[in-house]
Amino acid sequence: MSHPALSFRDVSVRHEPDDEPSVASVSFSVARRERIALLGLNGSGKTTLLMSAAGLLAHDGTILVDGVELTRHTLAEVRGKLGYLFNVPEDQLLFPRVIDDVAFGLLQKGISHSEATTQALEALGVLGIAHLAQLPPHHLSHGQSQRVALAGALITSPPLLLLDEPSAALDPPARRSLTRLLNGLTAAVVVATHDVPFARSVCTRFVVLEQGRVVFDGTDPTAVLERWERATVRL
């Protein structure tokens, strides 16, 4: 039996116990190898939903990653099945040098230091940033940090990638490389993004959130996007 890569079943997430839910009764599944864009205006719940799937926020309802229900007891197993790119990539770069950061996931899986370093250099090369390997992460630009964090998320070839605004800080050539790279992966991918051209070039399905609820799930989100085009907000 082949499980979906990720399933949400009636999932709600609150940031504080007494808060209104930021994600409310969300149900959808992501098939293996499927690439889904999660769209929604600021504050609609995209980051909250991705974080809940990685066990970074508590949820009500059921989340399954590769057939394993996410609970306190399965957290480590579930984390081993997914790669996560934070919205603020600097938050996930923790080691003194870029190369050590990217190699970390492999070391955790018991791969030798020399092999992990070799593979980490390759991963940096694929993203065009091998020259950054020896730098401390705090010497990187925001876009460079994003690419390093992505290399770390990809390094163990997880079956599921959760990417929070992966193209936001990238220059056009880096965005094209990222598009090519994601299109060449066998992993299932969920991309939270405001970058609709990027989403269209990578994803075949669009799930749209409004106030934490799924308001669209399909292949062509044009009607929702046009409605947003007509909307304005008070700044």
Ligand X SMILES: Nc1ncnc2c1ncn2[C@@H]1O[C@H](COP(=O)(O)OP(=O)(O)OP(=O)(O)O)[C@@H](O)[C@H]1O
Q: Which residues bind ligand X (CB under 6 A)?
A: 15, 22, 40, 42-48
Nearby residues of 173 by Cβ (< 8 Å), 6 or more positions away: none
44 versus 145: smaller Cβ distance to ligand X = 44
In the complex, least distance from residue 40 CB atom to ligand X, rounded to whole angstroms: 5
The Cα 193–Cα 85 span in angstroms is 12
Least Å distance between CB 196 and ligand X? 13
User: Which spans of this chain sit near Mg ion (rule: CB under 5 A)?
Assistant: 46-47
Q: Which is nearer to ligand X, 174 or 208 (CB)?
A: 208
Nearer to Mg ion, 45 or 83 (CB): 45
Residue 66 CB, shortest distance to Mg ion, in Å, is 24
Which of Mg ion, ligand X, none binds 167 (CB below 5-8 Å, type-dependent)? none
> Which of ligand X, Mg ion, none does residue 40 bind (CB under 5 to 8 Å by kind)?
ligand X
Task: To the nearest 10°, report the CA torsion of 20, 25, 31, 34.
Answer: -50
Q: Which does 145 bind (CB under 5 to 8 A by kind): Mg ion, ligand X, none?
A: none
Q: How far is the CB of 47 from ligand X (least distance, A)?
A: 3
Q: Minimal CA–CA distance to 211: which of 19, 41, 28?
A: 41
Beta carbon nearer to ligand X, 15 or 33: 15
The distance of closest approach from Cβ of residue 46 to ligand X in the complex, given in angstroms and rounded to an integer, is: 4
Which one, 48 or 146, has the nearer CB to ligand X?
48
Query: Taking CB within 5 to 8 Å according to partner kind, which of Mg ion, ligand X, none is near residue 48?
Result: ligand X
**CB of residue 233 vs ligand X: minimum separation in angstroms?**
12
Q: Which one of Mg ion, ligand X, none is in contact with 22 (Cβ closer than 5 to 8 A by kind)?
A: ligand X
For Mg ion, the closer of residues 48 and 117 by Cβ is 48
Q: What's the CA gap between 162 and 66, in Å, rounded?
A: 13
The option from Mg ion, ligand X, none interacting with 105 (CB < 5 to 8 A, set by class) reads none
